[in-house]
Amino acid sequence: MRIPKRLMVAAAITAIAARRKFTAPYELTGKSVLITGGSRGLGLALAAEFLKRGSAVTLMARDPAELERAATQLGAGGRVQTVAGDVTRQEDLRRALAEATRVHGGLDVLVNNAGLIQSGPLANMTEADFRDIMEVNAFAPLILTRLAVPELRRRGGRVLLVSSVGGKVAVPHLAPYSVSKFALTGIGQALRAELAGDGIGVTTVCPTVMRTGSPRQAQVKGQHQKEYALFATVDNLPLISLDARVAARRMVDALVRGDAEAPIGGSAFVLKYAQALAPQLTADLLALGTRFLPAPIPGDDAIPGSEAETPLTLHNPIKSGAEREFNELDGKSESKSD
């Protein structure tokens, strides 16, 4: 007997509602949280959100000066500590875990947030670009989570994986990034199933573009200024992008609820379900949209977004405000943008 689709949808909605009603939310007060990529952008916004909910945070990032500025900005006294390290170096990951445990008495929540982004046509991307971004965006979270399992098991902890809408729908001119985020979304699903028996909850969030001030950190290929102008502008459009503080709050809410996977932002929700319900139409629309993007050029040289600024991007007040708020500027860059 065939079950009507509407009945199946209603049953699924009822099951989700019942699960949320009878599942106790995860309490964050007094918990120890380790955040990779925690010195700026979304990582800094997530740190502020966890502190607001009574947690202690350990921030891991590569740049000691950025970490120092982030800790000063967050305040919160002894509830913030920093560890300088590279997520692609296993010894640095072990040291970050050890420091979080030593200073805050253990580890309850692991937030895998550190990531790379490369913008440009597929024709300008190399195999090395795909391998480099996979190391940071997919393998590092997998390795760090596995290293953290004994402590998370002991404390009944949680893992938050920051994927992307690009990990559900491949975004043109972000091919390596989308590949890495698809991998991370799959890692999240596998970890969720495998670690449930250890009492460890895993939540994967797939946000839309966010106003974090991070485009200037992206590696840009192809027609550098055109690519960057498009990327930085879309990233800061209020109707498309999401305020980083709002995004951080929704991500932490998803962790607290124990969601398996959560789209963050309206456009992420729409794209996720468009891909699921109408994959052919979605693919055709993305292919059509690609025709209007900057064409590839000979060569595969990459420059950081900060070196591809134009008057259009440099004097965008929304972008500049996010860069200041989320520690994306050093002293030299800040004086240049004023």
In angstroms, the CA 218 to CA 201 distance is: 31
Helices and strands counted in the chain (H then E): 14, 12
Tell me what pLDDT residue 2 has: 61
Three-state SS for 338? coil
Instruction: Report the pLDDT averaged over residues 111-138.
Output: 97
78 falls in which pLDDT band (50, 70, 90)?
Answer: confident
What single letter denotes the amino acid at residue 68?
E
Predicted model pTM = 0.90
Please give the biggest Cα pair distance in the chain.
69
Query: What is the predicted pLDDT for the residue at 222?
Result: 96
Domain ranges of the chain: 26-209+241-278
pLDDT reading at 217 higher than 90 = yes
CA distance 217 to 42: 13
Query: Looking at domain 26-209+241-278, what is its CATH homologous superfamily?
Result: NAD(P)-binding Rossmann-like Domain (3.40.50.720)
pLDDT for 246 beyond 70? yes
CA angle 225, 228, 232 (to 5 degrees): 140
Instruction: Tell me the sheet residues that pair with 201.
Output: 158
Q: Is pLDDT of 333 > 60?
A: no
| Burial of 243: CB neighbours in 10 Å, binned 0-12, 13-18, 19+ | middle
Bridge partners (DSSP) of residue 118 are 219
Residue with tokens 């970050």: 96
pLDDT band at 132 (very low <50, low <70, confident <90, very high): very high
Rounded CA-CA distance 205/110 in Å is 14
Q: What is the pLDDT of residue 238?
A: 85
Q: Quick one: what percent of the chain has pLDDT higher than 70?
A: 91
Residue 189: which residues within 8 A CB-CB, separation 6 or more? Answer: 204, 260, 261
pLDDT band at 8 (very low <50, low <70, confident <90, very high): low
CB-based contacts of 24: which residues, under 8 Å, 6+ apart?
A: none
- Kindly state the helix (H) or strand (E) to which residue 121 belongs, with its residue range: none
Task: Please tell me the least confidently modeled range out of 71-85, 246-260, 307-321, 324-338.
Answer: 324-338
Amino acid at 103: V
CA 226/CA 145 separation, integer angstroms: 38
Q: How many C-beta neighbours within 10 Å does residue 134 have? A: 17
Residue 221 above 80 pLDDT?
A: yes
Tell me what pLDDT residue 303 has. 96
Q: Decide: 114 and 36 in contact? Cβ < 8 Å.
A: yes
Partners of 60 in the β-ladder: 36, 83
pLDDT band at 336 (very low <50, low <70, confident <90, very high): very low
Mean per-residue pLDDT, 233-259: 95
Q: Which residues are catalytic?
A: 177
Residue 114's nearest CA partner among 258, 10, 208, 214 is 214
pLDDT at 334 over 60: no
d(CA 236, CA 227): 14
- Which distant-in-sequence residues (6+ apart) come within 8 Å of 198 by Cβ? 149, 152, 153
SS3 163: coil
Question: CA 153, CA 202: separation in Å to the nearest integer?
Answer: 12
Instruction: Output the six-digit token pair for 90.
Output: 């296993």
* Contact indicator for 95, 268 with CB cutoff of 8 Å: no
| Residue 6: predicted pLDDT | 64
Indicate the pLDDT class of residue 11, thresholds 50, 70 and 90.
low
